[in-house]
Chain A
Amino acid sequence: MYCFSSLAEFSILRESIKEGLMKNCGKDALAVFIAINESVNNAIFHGNKEDNSKNVYLIIEKMPNGIKIVIRDEGRGFLNREIPNTSDWLEEHGRGFAIIQHCVDSYRLNKMGNEITLIKKTKVA
């Protein structure tokens, strides 16, 4: 499990997470990495609102037929957040979820909305 409280801390871990995925997830590694990166950005900026006293937890688990990733923040939860209108191209934010959905086979939010679970079916070494 990884634990970090700021973008600066995550940026130190980012490349080693990517390398680990490249080593173990073959052709799907990049898609998984992109989904993790977008989810972590959401957790830091929209979940914890860049409050460095709050942590983000990242768990990457091997499953029999793929990989499971859990990202949890200590914010108030997705339901309390304003969701940007992504149909408006002039909107600067709000594309992260579309990218996450594209990169994984499924995702689910917990009831509080501060934890996202991503599932990618892939061959894991």
Chain B
Amino acid sequence: MEIDTVINNGQVTVTLWGSMYVEEAAVLREKLIAFMESGHKQFIIKLNNVDYIDSSGLGVFVAIQKRALKMNGGITLVGATSLVKELFELTRLNKVFVMQ
């Protein structure tokens, strides 16, 4: 999985490519937590090119969302493909995030 991050007006845009398994989820968590520790709380995560996220990856989004909400921020997920969208719906996490 490739992870690209850009900061614009304090908002962090994260673009992901590939499949997110446990290993990649751990890397993403570290990156996002580092942003939060430096005061960032608004995240846009682009999923257009992500073909799979396992439950550990979903858990990372939940963990970050939980922390971001406490800081009055949050995650917006953009462009989830059919399988990824299905996984969010199946686990009812589509109600937890803004999904565009």
Contact = CB atoms under 8 A, between A and B. Distances in A.
Interface of A: 7, 11, 14, 30, 34, 37-38, 41, 45, 89-93, 95-96, 98-99, 102
Chain B interface size, under 10 / 10 to 19 / 20 to 34 / 35 or more: 20 to 34
Given A11-B21, A89-B62, A95-B58, A34 B90 contact: no
Nearest to A38: B55
B93 interface: yes
Nearest to B90: A102
B23 A98 contact: no
Given A38-B55, A95-B58, A89 B93 contact: yes
Contacts, number: 46
B92 A96 contact: no
Given A7-B22, A89-B96, A41 B54 contact: yes
Contacts of B83: 30
Contacts of A45: 22
Contacts of B66: 90, 92
Interface in B51-76: 52, 54-56, 58-60, 62-63, 66
Contacts of A34: 52, 54
Contacts of B55: 38, 41, 93, 95-96, 99
A104 to B, nearest CB: 13
A94 to B, nearest CB: 8
Contacts of A93: 55, 59
B59 A99 contact: no
A95 B93 CA distance: 10
B23 A37 contact: no
14 contacts: A11-B21, A37-B21, A37-B54, A45-B22, A89-B92, A89-B93, A90-B62, A92-B62, A92-B66, A93-B55, A95-B58, A95-B59, A99-B87, A99-B91
